Copies of this chain bind each other. A is one copy, B any other.
Amino acid sequence: MNTFRVLEIKKTVFSGNDERAKKLRNDLEQRGVFLLNVMSSPGSGKTTTLVRTILSMKEQFNIGVMEADVDSDVDASTIAATGVKVIQLHTGGMCHLDAEMTREGLENFDIQGLDLVFLENVGNLICTAEYDTGAARSIMILSVPEGDDKPLKYPVMFQKVDAILVNKIDALPLFDFNLDRFKKHIGALNPRAVIFPISAKTGEGMEAWISWLTNEVTSWKTIHTNQ
């Protein structure tokens, strides 16, 4: 008998963030700035995916990127090379951004004239999922080498996002990642989420994702502004 005990340890209680997130979302709607919260584990390919996405979309939209990291500036340098406006947020050991931190970032960024701001959240599947940042939409990137069981282990993340990019599909032959099994997990947790298998390295599948995002931004703008 291979049994084990389950022990529940204390739970953190959050308060006030939801209200602040709602307020920020309303403010951004009035200013016509579509904020996209991008979450993932470390090393899932957030930055590479963003670079490809930005290069495809920057003719159509005025884009800004807020890079949130505990400490370094590595990704901001990479993103800045695309020519769009970038700000690096250092969270000083915090593993997430909440709505207030996001607002602080945006206020220091000067978003006037921007259509679309990517918030590259801290690399983390837990804390980031627990705080509404005030973004119009949230997405997460899971890479094939991480395994198709991640929705079982980090359900909150997978429940909260509007779209899931399954990155590094060029590595599928090497890893035991079953896309059908993954879709089944997501179907149970969050049936409204759209799933895009992509390879940010080779470009495979990027078109469908970019077309989805373009549609989201455009229809959001139609609803919230006079454009």
Contact = CB atoms under 8 A, between A and B. Distances in A.
Interface stretch (A5-13, A29-37, A203-211): A5-13
Contacts of A108: 5, 7
Residue of A67, A81, A153 with most chain B CB atoms under a 10 A cut-off? A153
B7 A90 contact: yes
A216 interface: no
Interface in A107-150: 108-109, 122-127, 130, 143-147, 149-150
A56 B187 CA distance: 38
Nearest to A65: B4
Interface residues of A, number: 70
A9 B146 contact: no
Number of copies of this chain that the complex holds:
2
B70 A126 contact: yes
Given A74-B152, A80-B4, A154-B70, A10 B92 contact: yes
Contact of A43 (B147, B155, B174): B147
A70 B151 CA distance: 12
Contacts of A104: 7, 9
Contact of A2 (B74, B80, B144, B154): B80
Contacts of A95: 95, 124, 126-127
Interface of A: 2-12, 41-44, 67, 69-77, 79-81, 83, 85-95, 97, 101, 104-105, 108-109, 122-127, 130, 143-147, 149-150, 152-156, 168, 170-171, 174-175
Given A7-B105, A95-B127, 8 more contacts: A4-B73, A7-B104, A9-B105, A12-B93, A42-B125, A124-B126, A145-B146, A170-B174
